[in-house]
Amino acid sequence: MSTQRESIHGQWSSRWIFILAATGSAVGLGNIWKFPYIAGENGGGAFVLVYLLCIAAIGIPVMMAEVLLGRRGRQSPINTMRELAKDEGRSTWWALLGWSGVLGGFLILSYYSVIAGWGLAYVLNSAAGNFAGAPAAEIKGIFDELMSNPGELIFWHSLFMLMTMLVVARGVKKGLEMAVRWLMPALFVLLLVMVGYAINSGEFMRGASFLFSPDFSKLTANGVLIAMGHAFFTLSLGMGAIMIYGSYMPGDASIAKTSMAVAIADTAVALLAGLAIFPIVFANNLEPGAGPGLIFQTLPIAFGQMPGGTFFGSLFFVLLVFAAWSSAISLIEPAVAWLVENRRWSRIKASVICGMATWVVGLGTVLSFNLWEGYTLWGKTFFDLLDYLTANIMLPLGGLFIAIFAAWVMSRESTRDELELGDGGAYPLWRFMVRFVTPLAVIIVFFNAIGLL
Ligand code: PHE
């Protein structure tokens, strides 16, 4: 049973809508844009295996913990953490966990919006027929051209931020539900079509074996950290997005089943994206480690060659933008909900101000692909640094503290009561995972990556 608290922001209409919304948050650029290129950069199979292990052993238990905290607190992550800590007679400093999530969401969205903007530009490129029959080199040229043009990048980044502010301003039900009800299933179907195309492309087996046959000699300690960080990133964990969606969840829905459903759907989309992309990479002698431009330099080749490619290409990028949109919303929702709760701002005012602040930081990412390309710290551009700091440091640390809070701070009764896992082994298993496995895994991977172990 859930406690008696109610969210002032409203509630999802049903369990099914919670699954859709959480899947909408989870499935995004992380699955389709980021997963393939980091898998490519880190050698494929072994990296993918570590990522899958992290999803199963860390991601699912932490997701359950995060939903649980949200549903019990029923407020923005900052206030939820404060209230729950009070309930347990602990320090209200735990609210800092909510604050770090707000900061993380803000930083992630700043670059997320820029990349989603590339997606918008590609809707136009496909619809204009620019890919039709174009060879790989020309397709790469289209991408390079876009990157070298800050004005255009800023335009698309601005448009995407506006779209995000619009939905967030409309609120949980009207704004968020509509966006996820139809688009996620459509994206899934289109990815299946793309994999179907890849199967016929001649190099399917090479693509599949790149993704699934592990070669551990290619995996570095830093690669393991990136795989773990990505498990948090792709499931939207460690910064309060899933926590706040949990706070809108009906009290009678099963946290375990819904979390599992979200994790499975998210993983399926990432693997499908990989299976659609790598056969094209190999069939066209492209570089798997091409970096952030990978999907924009590969998929258009396929669209350029397949019948109806102009249509399918446009549709694909439209759906990619929608997937990014439903994730972007969840990245600022914790901040907006806090401003509404504590500052009594209207949702509109809160969304506009958060959106504008995020937009400004996003300009740094835009410039890091052109004018600031040469300015690097530890070999990383502004965009690389933001990505590394958020995905590989802030999210795993956030997840670590969420696990510690749920398993060490909250009483057994509170978590047991909220999870309702029955009397079998499921509850003890969950508790063991968040109590020991998650903290140890995160700590070991961290120290390993900084070379202390
Ligand atoms: N999970 C989203 C994706 O894969 C990104 C995200 C991270 C969204 C953290 C919310 C919170 O694209």
Q: Are 104 and 395 in contact, with CB atoms under 8 Å apart?
A: yes
pLDDT at 171: 78
Q: Give a yes or no: residue 226 inside a domain.
A: yes
pLDDT at 345: 95
- Summarize pLDDT for 379-412 with one digit per residue, the tens: 999 999 999 999 999 999 999 999 999 999 999 9
Where helices occur in 128-249 by DSSP H, the ranges are 136-147, 150-170, 178-181, 183-199, 204-212, 221-234, 241-247
- Summarize pLDDT for 220-256 with one digit per residue, the tens: 999 999 999 999 999 999 999 999 999 988 888 899 9
Chain mean pLDDT for the chain: 93
- Summarize pLDDT for 118-147 with one digit per residue, the tens: 999 999 999 999 999 999 999 999 999 999
Report the C-alpha dihedral over residues 147, 150, 153, 154, rounded to 10 degrees.
Answer: 160
| pLDDT interval class at 450 (50, 70, 90) | confident
Q: Give a yes or no: residue 8 inside a domain.
A: no
For 241, the domain range is: 15-449
Residues flanking ligand 1, CB < 6 Å: 25-26, 28-31, 108, 233-234, 236, 239, 241, 327, 330-331
Q: Give a yes or no: residue 423 inside a domain.
A: yes
Q: Give a yes or no: residue 196 inside a domain.
A: yes
User: Residue 145 contacts by C-beta under 8 Å, 6 or more apart in sequence?
Assistant: none
- Summarize pLDDT for 33-61 with one digit per residue, the tens: 999 999 999 999 999 999 999 999 999 99
Q: Give a yes or no: residue 4 inside a domain.
A: no
Residue nearest to atom 11 of ligand 1 (CA): 236
Question: What CATH code is carried by the domain that includes residue 377?
Answer: 1.20.1740.10
- Summarize pLDDT for 46-102 with one digit per residue, the tens: 999 999 999 999 999 999 999 999 999 999 999 999 999 999 999 999 999 999 999
Neighbours of 52 (CB within 10 A): 17
Secondary structure (3-state) at 377? strand
Say which range, 363-367, 421-425, 431-435, has the weakest mean pLDDT: 421-425
**Distances 343 to 4, 257, 320, 390 between C-alpha atoms, Å:** 24, 35, 34, 27
pLDDT at 217: 95
pLDDT at 95: 96
Q: Is residue 1 scored above 70 in pLDDT?
A: no
Please give the distance, rounded to the nearest whole angstrom, from the Cα atom of residue 328 to the centre of ligand 1: 7
pLDDT at 2: 46
pLDDT at 453: 64
Please give the distance, rounded to the nearest whole angstrom, from the Cα atom of residue 134 to the centre of ligand 1: 32
Number of domains in the chain: 1
pLDDT at 380: 94
| pLDDT interval class at 176 (50, 70, 90) | low
H-run or E-run covering 388 = none
Q: Give a yes or no: residue 152 inside a domain.
A: yes
Q: Is residue 294 scored above 50 in pLDDT?
A: yes
Q: Give a yes or no: residue 5 inside a domain.
A: no
Please give the distance, rounded to the nearest whole angstrom, from the Cα atom of residue 236 to the centre of ligand 1: 4
Q: Is residue 451 scored above 60 in pLDDT?
A: yes
pLDDT at 102: 97
Please give the distance, rounded to the nearest whole angstrom, from the Cα atom of residue 263 to the centre of ligand 1: 12
Q: Give a yes or no: residue 2 inside a domain.
A: no
Hey, which of 111, 176, 233 would you mutate to test ligand 1's pocket, going by the most ligand atoms within 8 Å of its Cβ?
233
pLDDT at 175: 64
